[in-house]
């Protein structure tokens, strides 16, 4: 690698004097994160409360759902910090930049970023698809229980597998695609500043998709678990009957 004696930077490194116009972050991310916090926090808390107060023994599905809801709840609890950080914008007429990967070291950051993508998204997504493919093959076998009820259960399980995989892909695939593209462009020599800015905006603009997963999980849980859908209705009926008795 050749170095410029005047600046001390690599000659084939991406430009370091690009000015990124990222005011959209302060307009987009705080409202989105606030909405995810306002919806995801109570929904996941309700899921945890319903599972923990259920009189039935915990099944493997319930244990998995409980751990997933706990993870989503912890993520939702961390959102106020992100909301505060992005809502601050310019402080004292100056912007504080937390540059953890300076442009001069972009080529070195590329392997690290790709490793995070592979471990944090690609491997879990491939494992998820493999498990659901095995599940679909098992459901399509003809040696299982016959009858309309069994057929309906198999169809419901297959639809649930497709919905969960689609929710995972919708939440995380756009973010990781734009992140990978941004890292690739950022580590490519000779890329102009407008192109870098466009990829940076796309990468940071897809962050809300990843946070939306903490809202989709409890919604999927509610619509796929019949017994838990019935509990709020029963509670509402009891409260309505109580109010009617008090009004007489």
Place of tokens 């800015």: 197
Q: What DSSP assignment string belongs to 184-223?
A: HHHTSTT--HHHHHHHHHHHHHTHHHHHTHHHHHHHHHHH
Characterize 120-158 residue by residue with b for buried, 16 or more Cβ atoms within 10 angstroms of its Cβ, and e for exposed: ebeeebeeeeeebeeeeeebeeeeeeeeeeeeeebeebb
Residue 1 reports pLDDT greater than 60: no
**Segment 51-79, tens digit of pLDDT:** 888 777 777 777 877 888 898 999 999 99
Greatest alpha-carbon pair distance for the chain in Å reads 89
- Give pTM, 2 decimals: 0.69
E strand or H helix that includes residue 118? none
**Segment 112-164, tens digit of pLDDT:** 888 888 998 899 889 988 887 887 777 766 565 566 666 766 676 677 777 77
Q: Under a CB-based contact definition with an 8 Å cutoff, are residues 182 and 202 in contact?
A: yes
Radius of gyration of the chain (CA): 24
Residue 213 reports pLDDT greater than 50: yes
């Amino acid at each position: 690698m050749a170095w410029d004696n005047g600046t001390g930077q690599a000659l084939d490194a991406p430009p370091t004097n690009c000015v990124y116009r990222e005011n959209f972050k302060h307009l987009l991310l705080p409202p989105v994160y606030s909405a995810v916090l306002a919806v995801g926090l109570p929904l996941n808390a309700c899921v945890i409360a319903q599972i923990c107060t259920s009189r039935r023994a915990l099944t493997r599905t319930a244990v998995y759902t409980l751990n997933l809801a706990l993870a989503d709840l912890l993520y939702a609890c961390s959102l106020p910090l992100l909301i505060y950080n992005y809502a601050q914008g310019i402080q004292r007429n100056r912007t504080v930049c937390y540059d953890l990967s300076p442009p001069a070291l972009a080529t070195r950051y590329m392997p690290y970023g790709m490793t995070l993508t592979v471990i944090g998204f690609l491997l879990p997504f491939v494992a998820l698809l493999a498990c659901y493919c095995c599940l679909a093959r098992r459901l399509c076998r003809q040696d299982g229980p016959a009858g309309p009820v069994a057929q309906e259960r198999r169809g419901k399980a297959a639809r649930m597998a497709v919905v969960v995989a689609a929710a995972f892909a919708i939440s995380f695939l756009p973010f990781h695609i734009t992140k990978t593209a941004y890292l690739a462009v950022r580590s490519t020599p000779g890329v102009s500043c407008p192109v870098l800015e466009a990829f940076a905006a796309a990468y940071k603009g897809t962050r809300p998709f990843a946070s939306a997963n903490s809202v989709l999980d409890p919604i999927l849980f509610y619509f796929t678990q019949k017994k838990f859908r019935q509990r709020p209705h029963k509670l509402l009926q009891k409260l309505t009957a109580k109010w009617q008795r008090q009004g007489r």
